[in-house]
Structure 1
Amino acid sequence: MPEVLTPPRQSTFTVALVGNPNVGKTTIFNRLTGLRQKVGNYPGVTVDKRFATIKAGEHEATIIDLPGTYSIYPNSEDEVIVHRVLNGLDSSNKPDFVLAVVDMSNMERGLFLVTQIMDMGLPLAIILNMSDTAEEQGVKVKSHALYQSLGVPVLQTNARSNQGLEGILEVLSKKMFEKPEGFLASTDLLPASLSEKIQQRFDLDNQYQAYQLVRFYENEPTLSEEHRNWLQTEIEAAKYNLQATQLEETQYRYRAIQGVLDKAVTKTDLGRKRLTDKLDKIFLHKIGGYAIFLTIMLVIFQAVFAWSAMPMDLIDGFFASMSARAAGLLPPGVLTDLITEGIIPGIGGIVIFIPQIALLFAFLGILEDTGYMSRVVFLMDRIMRPFGLNGKSVVPLISGIACAIPGIMATRNIGNWKDRLITIMVTPLMSCSARLPVYVILIGIAIPESYIGPFNLQAVALLGMYLLGIVAVLFTSWILKLILHFKEKSYLVVEMPMYRLPRWKDVLITMYSKSKTFVLEAGKVILAISIVLWVLASYGPSSAREEAIAKVESPAAGATDEQLTTYENQIASAELESSYIGIMGHFIEPAIRPLGYDWKIGIALITSFAAREVFVSTMATLYSVGADVEDELTIQEKLNSEVNPETGNKVFNLATAFSLIVFYAFAMQCMSTLAVVYRETKGWKWPVIQTVYMTALAYVSAWVVYQILS
């Protein structure tokens, strides 16, 4: 009997991809991994990690794309993550090797990070990327001379054009990494006695790792309180000055790096003005720069709004027809109702946002890839910082005018956690497109269609709601800036890369990965809440439902189609009133009566958590509008004529209508947004706080408006 040979199991190893921001690290990661990428999060923090497993010769290599950083100092969450992963404090992400990406046109800045990694004693290979940019600037690097000075493999690439990609794959497949000697003498940075104690207690390999733990121990969440207190005691006993040592290290390191560059790098003055410098005079102009930016954002916003309309309508229609088809195929019953009225619409409520998310991140990817996004950040930082935001906050906020969901997801470009959190917390205050149907109906009730000169009063009021959202964002950001206290320092470092044409493959990968993350992460929460709302609106105490339906007068024999439709709507209204969500509406009526609202409006407020625009269809059902719920004029006329049976006054008078408009402007009534905030902050703490403060702001503002106008 012939012997059966079992193929050898492939060995696997982990490679950390590190580098400064805007050095092409993400491009290299995309080129190596394509659509095999996965997204997770680092334990204890809110920053996402991207990773993928690829075939590398006879091996499988897991590539971890670490956040871009200029150094490994405890100044930001990104730097804490790089420190933790490279030092093996997060065992699930501990790398076997490191690929360090350096901008070939700015070697000094890139080698600062590289030499810090060398001092950790990790097996390393260096990728000198952007060789085309270096050539344009007259920079030439002697790779062999650099190898002799640093003692690790050096590879020149241009990832944008795939030049050198095969070399990177060869480095991975043959594991061409070398463990370098230390770049600086760590004894100059940390007393030997203190270093020895730390290395023994934490099982560290070398003195520089001990030095880094001293630098990061206050910011390292994986350390126990006992370890933290021990480190603090030892540092104080040694009378060790952290701040002075960091300054000394920076000076020593740059001085040593310059010695390496003198041997390996030559620069030639090309004597010509680069296109980037010429464009910057236009795009960074103190007046024209802002006008260009606003124009670009207006075009993007209009494109996202207009181009997503058709696919969103198609998705909406598809799921509506799917519900109808399922209702026709499945036998009547509770399970069928759950599928057709709860699950299918819930899934549709997830998928319908994909066109907006994909388009927005496509445009953001293009702006980032061309180099323009860095200029936007630089322009807007001075304006946004007094309010607790920074320049990178402007894109999410403007995106929030279309939809808060992609706007909140766009905050991932903000490296500082405090600035990012404030942006997440205030973005839903921007008046999104879902509020528009509510504004249109209520403004039509409250304000006559008249003109002052060339201006329509209703249009002016609608513009005022958007301006009110902007004022609320700035004021709330300023308050949060005073309240929130983080050890992380708020500062902005922006790299100004050269202008380039976008890489369309990377843009498509970004669209795909962002849409996938939304569907798989936020979608689960959205679907769950959709089902809960359906149950609350579909069921109630049986006796109450029977009594409510019995009060509806049946149509006479020979009733017209219009009378039959009105009867059906009255039945639907009675069923909704007697449902659990209707009972909830009656329950909260005493709390909302000071705002001018009755129990019917209370039900609309509750159902609006599914989506703000649900207000329209809820009002149509409650007030038995005998027409298409999307016919805003019919609903508007019905609401305008509704009279309170107790007082004889109009339900939707000027005070009530404006109070409701302001409430919808500020209230957090969108479970999809809550799901995304939960996803981005990795927990329910901040979504709950956001819901509470926005609801309080909405209630107080609506009460003030009602009291003034009553």
Structure 2
Amino acid sequence: MKKKSPKIALIGNPNAGKSSLFNSLTGLRQKTGNFPGVTMDKLTGVWKLDPETNAEVLDLPGIYSIYPKSLDEQVVINILGNPNHPDYPDMAIVVADASNLKRNLLLFSQVRDLGIPTVLALNMIDVAESNGIVINSLKLGRELSVEVAEVNAKKGIGVNGLRLAVNKTLETKYASNDSLPVGYSEELVDEIRTTYGEVDDYHALLWLSEHDNMKMFDTQQRVGFDNLQEKYNFNSKEFQALETVKRYEQIADVVDHCVIDVNNQNEQEPESTWTEKLDKVFLHRFWGYFVFLGILFLMFQAVFTWAQYPMDAIDGGIAWLNDFLKEQLPASKLTDLLTDGLISGIGGVLIFVPQIAFLFLFISLLEETGYMSRVMFIMDKLMRRFGLNGKSVVPLISGVACAVPAIMSTRSIGSWKDRLITIMVTPLMSCSARLPIYTILISLVVPEKSTLFGIFNLQGLALFGLYLIGFLMAILSAWIMKIVLKARERSYFIMELPTYKAPRFNHVFLSIWNSVKAFVFQAGKVIVAISIVLWVLASYGPGDAIERAESKVRMENPDLQGHALENKVASQKLENSYAGLFGKTIEPVIKPLGYDWKIGIALITSFAAREVFVGTMSTIYSLGGEVDDENATIKNRMKAEINPDTGKPMYDAALGFSLLIFYAFAMQCMSTLATTLRETKSWKYPVIQFVYMTALAYLSAFLVYQILK
């Protein structure tokens, strides 16, 4: 009998379609957590097998075999190799690329031989058939002694057939590990069982071979395995190589019986596929880079232009809501907290949802179509010149979304020095958290007009430039670190390029939804909380400083009335509040950059999360701004701010570009530093990361301000 809530692991080679199948099975019923004892995210979801059974589906990192070469692959083997692990599955679905069946069956045979009930899901059958490959899945199932289901994960085709195969396997619990392809000493296996516990032969051999990578064993047990290797003259690398060769011999026989290659039968050259034709351009030594830069340029143009309309609507809607509430509610501190604290903070979150959504729309489309893998491939040669591993491209590109998962993805880099350099420079890539800051500042200092035949927007061009300068600084910093660390060891970048596919838009929108939800409910909570705390600090001061501030303004400006008087009083109160005193304390340090004490407050609060800068400015200028319209939008309030030293607008080109450059280079995210600490297991590296990025940001912003002022 099957369990009411079986745990099913999705396993497969990279680019076999495992994540697409996971989305098809679980839809929106997904959640992110951490693997027990591992600082790495795991994705789980619920799949309804029948009216009474909900299966928990676990999406494991992509691997080529159960012998790990990187940290993320070690996660998989620590689960599959340990029957007592909390995530050990009741069964596995191995997702195989039908167009490259022979290579995919290596992993399948290893998982099956671990004694885990297994279903083989043949994905991309349509691609295989278009390449002239026909698979007899019924015969394949008989040859392998497993249930086989044909699926198209992108289109959600074959899910019902997969459900039947899974239910049948869960009922029978059939698992085969009787056909291990290599010879081994029964005496050795018996000794492992006696010492370490009753397991099947393949588990015992896996433990012996990979004990140093398995967290279930302590130091004493690992020494015991080393002694067994020496006693029985067991060489792990030789064993794994021999096993792989023997498995491929078995797999070749199975494929010969079950797969027909029409092109080979007709003895004709296969026709050039669309993937091959497109790759002649996208992977070209010159045009490949040109196309990539062009796509990025258009992407940021669209992000800035398309998102402007909903952003203006949200910004105006928040201002209208504040105006409405202030008219309907009695004047009190509670009303001020609601409008200037809570609602202004929420507005600082919601206004950037359109841009976050558009950014992840384009990133998801690039991933879904298969183009993102081409970007990694063409950038490999460039990366090596600056001391980065080819696999460093993956974290750097991921850093455009968020530095935290990007740093965690460096686990696929085998060389420690290459991995360390990648970790240290990845935060220089402009993440989505910087987008709110870029947006508000660009709109203040860059004219809103088109250029180049009226096609491209100057503000979109400025946004593209900020992302580009972040990338250039990242590779320049990597080159310097390469010299400092004297990193000379060679490494290799190996990846399989998937075929081009039409994007499945429900997967695209699922990615957008998850990203926006994470921004609103994770970053949003921080922004709103800090906005409320900041309102309290900006509304109260030591002793009777706030009351004396109002009296002082009325005495020094007896002729002021109406909005002018209210604005002057509000500004003086803010200056004498706890927040104002704090800003005044750090003002001498940031004055050379052109920043005043109000910006200083935002610089400090935004260390919790970069996007908090805008929420902080919204709260500060709601309390102390000098504009005619009491409930003007944050953009108009910042635009109306006057520099007391010059009498001109505060946010001119010099200050605006200085702030943009500061935030492009500054380390202002506690989560990123915490992730660097977890990944390097040393306080030294996050401290170095914070110091060098802060120094780089300060000096760059200083130069920009001094040149432009």
SS at match of 1:524: helix
* 1:369 and 2:374 aligned: no
* 1:84 and 2:78 aligned: yes
Cα offset, 1:98, TM superposition: 0.8
Structure 2 partner of 1:12: 5
Distance 1:611 1:262, change over 3 A: same
Structure 2 partner of 1:506: 507
Q: How does 1:544-623 map to 2 (within 5 A)?
A: 544-554=545-555, 559=560, 564-592=562-590, 599=597, 602-603=600-601, 605-606=603-604, 611-613=612-614
Structure 2 partner of 1:247: 241
SS at match of 1:552: helix
Match for 1:29: what amino acid? Answer: F
Given candidates 176, 180, 187, the residue that maps to 2:176 is 180
Cα offset, 1:377, TM superposition: 1.6
CA distance in 2, matches of 1:665, 1:243: 46
Structure 1 partner of 2:383: 384
Distance 1:700 1:281, change over 3 A: closer
TM-score normalized by the length of structure 2:
0.80
Q: How does 1:328-407 map to 2 (within 5 A)?
A: 328-387=327-386
CA distance in 1, matches of 2:333, 2:191: 67
Match for 2:262: what amino acid? Answer: T
Distance 1:484 1:613, change over 3 A: farther
CA distance in 1, matches of 2:523, 2:232: 49
SS at match of 1:641: coil
Cα offset, 1:95, TM superposition: 0.7
Match for 1:247: what amino acid? Answer: A
CA distance in 1, matches of 2:336, 2:652: 37
Match for 1:104: what amino acid? Answer: A
Structure 2 partner of 1:434: 437
Cα offset, 1:132, TM superposition: 1.4
Q: Do 2:177 and 2:202's aligned partners in 1 also have CA atoms closer than 8 Å? A: no
CA distance in 2, matches of 1:623, 1:340: 15
Structure 2 partner of 1:536: 537
Comparing 169-178 and 116-125, the one that deviates more: 169-178
Structure 2 partner of 1:125: 119
Cα offset, 1:477, TM superposition: 3.6
Distance 1:536 1:196, change over 3 A: farther
Aligned residues: 673
Structure 2 partner of 1:283: 282
TM-score normalized by the length of structure 1:
0.80
CA distance in 2, matches of 1:640, 1:320: 30
Cα offset, 1:114, TM superposition: 0.5
Cα offset, 1:214, TM superposition: 4.1
Match for 2:437: what amino acid? Answer: A
RMSD: 4.5
Q: Do 2:77 and 2:214's aligned partners in 1 also have CA atoms closer than 8 Å? A: no
Cα offset, 1:413, TM superposition: 7.6
Q: Deviations over 1:101-151 (max 9, x none)?
A: 111111111011111102211111111222211212222223344333322
Q: How does 1:86-235 map to 2 (within 5 A)?
A: 86-88=80-82, 91-174=85-168, 175=170, 178-185=174-181, 188=184, 195-203=189-197, 205-221=199-215, 223-228=217-222, 230-231=224-225, 235=229
CA distance in 2, matches of 1:593, 1:155: 66
SS at match of 2:25: helix
CA distance in 1, matches of 2:594, 2:569: 26
CA distance in 2, matches of 1:212, 1:65: 22
Distance 1:663 1:424, change over 3 A: closer
Q: Do 2:61 and 2:76's aligned partners in 1 also have CA atoms closer than 8 Å? A: yes
Cα offset, 1:665, TM superposition: 4.3
Given candidates 248, 258, 262, the residue that maps to 2:252 is 258
Match for 2:26: what amino acid? Answer: T
CA distance in 1, matches of 2:18, 2:550: 65
Cα offset, 1:279, TM superposition: 1.9
CA distance in 2, matches of 1:55, 1:306: 44
CA distance in 2, matches of 1:458, 1:519: 25
Match for 1:366: what amino acid? Answer: L
Distance 1:689 1:316, change over 3 A: farther
Q: Do 2:149 and 2:161's aligned partners in 1 also have CA atoms closer than 8 Å? A: yes
Distance 1:657 1:149, change over 3 A: closer
In structure 2, the gaps of 5 or more residues are 414-418, 448-457
CA distance in 2, matches of 1:103, 1:661: 45
Distance 1:159 1:385, change over 3 A: same
Q: Do 2:11 and 2:94's aligned partners in 1 also have CA atoms closer than 8 Å? A: yes
Q: Deviations over 1:669-698 (max 9, x none)?
A: 5xxx65688799989989887555432332
* 1:667 and 2:663 aligned: no
Q: Do 1:585 and 1:606's aligned partners in 2 also have CA atoms closer than 8 Å? A: no
Distance 1:200 1:544, change over 3 A: farther
Cα offset, 1:548, TM superposition: 3.1
Cα offset, 1:619, TM superposition: 8.0
Q: Do 1:58 and 1:173's aligned partners in 2 also have CA atoms closer than 8 Å? A: no
* 1:416 and 2:424 aligned: no
Structure 2 partner of 1:523: 524
Distance 1:709 1:265, change over 3 A: closer
In structure 1, the gaps of 5 or more residues are 1-7, 445-456, 644-649
Cα offset, 1:66, TM superposition: 1.6
Given candidates 69, 82, 85, the residue that maps to 1:75 is 69
SS at match of 1:496: coil
SS at match of 2:10: strand
Q: Do 1:408 and 1:424's aligned partners in 2 also have CA atoms closer than 8 Å? A: no
Cα offset, 1:96, TM superposition: 0.4
Cα offset, 1:99, TM superposition: 1.0
Distance 1:594 1:410, change over 3 A: closer
CA distance in 2, matches of 1:161, 1:306: 31
CA distance in 1, matches of 2:84, 2:551: 65
Q: Do 2:82 and 2:88's aligned partners in 1 also have CA atoms closer than 8 Å? A: yes
CA distance in 2, matches of 1:615, 1:524: 14
CA distance in 2, matches of 1:360, 1:523: 18
Structure 1 partner of 2:22: 29
SS at match of 2:473: helix
Distance 1:425 1:524, change over 3 A: same
